[in-house]
């Protein structure tokens, strides 16, 4: 078994999820959202390990079933054609099978959307009075992934989501940059307590439609790795690649929220989200018969005198009832 090494932007080895490279917009780095949940799922033990749900996804395809990871880079950027920002992989991994090497690009999702439709974005850019190369970039990305016949204002491509286009194209381009034959794109979904079901359903539909068009198949299932699709070299892709695409949903278990993260959420006025997350932690620990001592210690870290002094009718009162019933000494303890 290959030992996986994760590195940050400076090349330093990441030995704990808290050292994970955060997203460029720091307000996205919070518990219950995709960037932090991706980091946490790779560190469920003392060393970075492939999440079991991702292993299960890879095992559904004979080409990827024996894939092993060598190195990983959170928030890795691959340059895209034309002027503009590159493809930001939530996690880019170098990997190998017994017969070939490859690149895995991971897009983490809770319920965040896949961006605008390609046709909508293309029309907006065409109508803009400011100088932009967005139309040319969209055309180049479509050519990389779907071939020269794909047009941004024509069905079926105009109704596909732009973020999925950049994600798949970026994975192909990174594989070409590394001069390896396998390009594997994965959507890793985290149904956290903050996820809205209607947004997750919209994402599932958008993903399925994209893969249906890409692989010319009638139905798409989560938990299945599709491919290989032979993608030809062209004016923007330096070499041919074998493309694989899959989506997986994690078996979501909320580990204890670190003290520093809770404090940050309080300082940013996100107390309701904090209470929701704490409830999830409390109920998980209780369901596993792990005892209340762990939660009592953790809750005291987050400072329950602050909670008592700032009442919120919904989450706070529900938590109060649970704590009064099961650990009354915690709730009723005098403020320190």
Q: In the chain, what are the domain boundaries?
A: 5-249, 259-331
Specify which of 40-54, 78-92, 268-282 reaches the highest per-range mean pLDDT.
78-92
244-258: per-residue pLDDT in tens?
999 999 865 555 555
Exposure letters 29-59 (e unless 16+ CB within 10 A, then b): bbbbbbbbbbbbbbbeeeebbbbebbeebbe
Query: Average pLDDT, whole number, for the chain?
Result: 84
- Would you state the pLDDT for residue 33? 85
Provide the 8-state DSSP code for 23: P
Residues in the chain: 336
* 217, two tokens: 């198949």
- Would you state the pLDDT for residue 95? 97
Report d(CA 296, CA 327) in Å as an integer. 8
- Would you state the pLDDT for residue 30? 78
Q: Are strands 241-249 and 225-231 parallel, antiparallel or unpaired?
A: antiparallel
Instruction: Give the range among 152-161, 223-232, 272-281 with minimum mean pLDDT.
Output: 272-281
Residue 11: pLDDT above 70?
A: yes
Residue 162: pLDDT above 50?
A: yes
CA-derived radius of gyration, the chain: 22
Report d(CA 122, CA 238) in Å as an integer. 25
199-239: per-residue pLDDT in tens?
999 999 999 999 999 999 999 999 999 999 999 999 999 99
Exposure letters 7-26 (e unless 16+ CB within 10 A, then b): eeeeeeebeebeebbbbeee
Report d(CA 196, CA 242) in Å as an integer. 34
284-312: per-residue pLDDT in tens?
666 655 545 445 545 554 444 445 555 55
Residue 330: pLDDT above 80?
A: no
Nearest to 51 by CA among 7, 104, 100: 104
Residue 241: pLDDT above 60?
A: yes
Residue 44: pLDDT above 60?
A: yes
Instruction: Give the range among 130-139, 164-173, 227-236, 262-271 with minimum mean pLDDT.
Output: 262-271
Instruction: Give the range among 40-44, 59-63, 115-119, 315-319 with minimum mean pLDDT.
Output: 315-319
Residue 56: pLDDT above 80?
A: yes
């Amino acid at each position: 078994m290959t030992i996986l090494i994760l590195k940050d932007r400076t090349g330093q080895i990441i030995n704990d999820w808290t050292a994970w490279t955060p997203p460029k917009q720091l307000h996205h780095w919070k518990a219950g959202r995709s960037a932090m949940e991706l980091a946490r799922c790779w560190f469920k033990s003392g060393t970075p390990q492939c999440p079991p749900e991702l292993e299960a996804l890879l095992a559904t395809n004979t080409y990827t079933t024996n894939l092993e990871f060598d190195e990983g880079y959170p928030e890795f950027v691959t340059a895209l054609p034309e002027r503009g920002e590159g493809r930001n992989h939530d996690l880019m991994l170098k990997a190998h099978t017994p017969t070939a090497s490859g690149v895995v690009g991971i897009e983490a999702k809770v319920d965040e959307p896949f961006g605008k439709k390609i046709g909508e974005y293309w029309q907006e850019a065409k109508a803009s009075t400011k100088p932009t190369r967005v139309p040319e970039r969209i055309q180049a990305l479509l050519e990389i992934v779907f071939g020269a016949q794909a047009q941004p204002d024509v069905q079926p491509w105009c109704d596909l989501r732009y973020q999925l286009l950049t994600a798949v194209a970026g994975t192909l381009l990174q594989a070409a940059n590394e001069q390896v034959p396998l390009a594997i794109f994965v959507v890793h979904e985290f149904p956290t307590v903050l996820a809205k079901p209607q947004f997750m359903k919209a994402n599932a539909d958008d993903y399925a439609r994209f893969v249906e068009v890409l692989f010319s198949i009638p139905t798409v299932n989560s938990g299945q790795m599709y491919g290989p699709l032979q993608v030809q070299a062209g004016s923007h892709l330096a070499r041919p690649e074998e493309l694989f695409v899959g989506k997986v949903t994690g078996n979501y278990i909320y580990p204890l929220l670190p003290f520093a993260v809770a404090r940050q959420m309080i300082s940013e006025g996100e107390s309701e989200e904090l209470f929701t997350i704490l409830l999830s932690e409390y109920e998980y620990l209780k369901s596993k018969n792990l005892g209340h001592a762990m939660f009592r210690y953790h809750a005291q870290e987050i400072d329950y005198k602050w909670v008592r002094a700032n009442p919120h009718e919904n989450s706070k009162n529900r938590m109060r009832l649970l704590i009064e019933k099961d650990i009354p000494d915690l709730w009723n303890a005098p403020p320190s």
